[in-house]
Amino acid sequence: MIVRDFNELKKTDKHVADARWTSTRMLLADDGMGFSFHITVLEAGSEHTFHYKHHFESVYCMKGSGSITDLATGETHAIRPGVMYALNLNDKHVLRADEELHMACCFNPPVTGTEVHRADGSYAPAGEAA
């Protein structure tokens, strides 16, 4: 059994920050679960372009409001508490936080915790250096 405290993890190297967002990695690849689980907070007024070419991601909004735009179709969806989206086609997207967004995120394959976003908004494939 794995039991972790979000508030304690925020004081460790499992709490990472990038351009106007933070992510607390609750589960990572070395936990052996087959997915990683993160709590991510995006700053109000921020906009992020991501393209997880090598990962599937599902995201559940716990707090805040914003939108997600699928860049392939131009379709935009509202994000608010209770809304989940899944990037089942490695969808390139823009995520906007109108209010501070608190999101629960799962990645498959799991991330290691050392990834950084590449210029195109992706993470490196599993086993390849960031």
Q: Which two tokens stand for residue 123?
A: 């993470």
The answer to whether 35 touches 86, Cβ cutoff 8 Å, is: no
pTM for the structure as a whole: 0.88
- Cβ proximity of 35 and 108 under 8 Å: yes
70, 37 in Cβ contact below 8 A? no
Share of the chain above pLDDT 90, in %: 77
pLDDT digits (tens, 9 = 90+) for 11-69: 999 999 888 999 999 999 999 999 999 999 999 999 999 888 888 999 999 999 999 99
Q: For residue 77, what pLDDT is reported? A: 98
Confidence of residue 106 (pLDDT cuts 50, 70, 90): very high
Q: Which domains does the chain have, with CATH numbers?
A: 38-114 (2.60.120.10)
- The tokens for 85 are 């989206």
Q: Is 13 helix (H, G, I), strand (E, B) or coil?
A: coil
Give yes or no for a contact between 41 and 77, defined as CB atoms under 8 angstroms apart.
no
